[in-house]
């Protein structure tokens, strides 16, 4: 089987054969922030319209690589999954966003921070 090299951001390469990483250089740590909270609505298109300005503001956050917005009308929940390039900005944003959500009247805000395992995430097609 031929060797396959996948170029990652910042010029690092990972050697892959048949979706298995054989060797890799150390990656800079990235962090996932998972936030969710009870949300009575709106949902879908109405949710998108209601929070478009907030999304534009969040996009300017230091250290933020991306955010995925989440909503579940059936369980009455909303939130997001965020990817940050450093732990300090993830924690700073969590504090800021928690205060913002509380100012909107949200309670029972749940949040967790995780370290990203980039080698395994690359195998499973993560866009990091």
| pLDDT confidence band for 27 (50 / 70 / 90) | low
Give me the domains of the chain, ranges plus CATH numbers: 28-123 (3.30.70.100)
Q: Is 32 helix (H, G, I), strand (E, B) or coil?
A: strand
pLDDT digit string (tens) for 59-98? Answer: 999 999 999 999 999 999 999 999 999 999 999 999 999 9
69 to 4, 44, 52, 58: CA distances (angstroms): 33, 11, 11, 11
Mean per-residue pLDDT of the chain: 84
């Amino acid at each position: 089987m031929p060797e396959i090299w996948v170029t990652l951001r910042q010029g690092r390469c990972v050697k892959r054969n048949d979706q298995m990483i054989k060797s890799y250089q150390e990656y800079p740590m990235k962090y996932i922030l998972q936030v969710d909270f009870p949300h009575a609505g709106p949902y879908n298109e109405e949710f998108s319209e209601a929070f478009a300005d907030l999304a534009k503001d969040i996009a300017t956050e230091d250290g933020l690589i991306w955010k995925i917005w989440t909503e579940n009308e059936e369980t009455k929940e909303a939130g997001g999954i965020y990817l940050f390039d450093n732990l300090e900005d993830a924690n700073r944003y969590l504090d800021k966003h928690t205060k913002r959500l509380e100012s909107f009247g949200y309670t029972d805000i749940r949040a967790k921070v995780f370290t990203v395992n980039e080698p395994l995430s690359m195998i499973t097609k993560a866009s990091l």
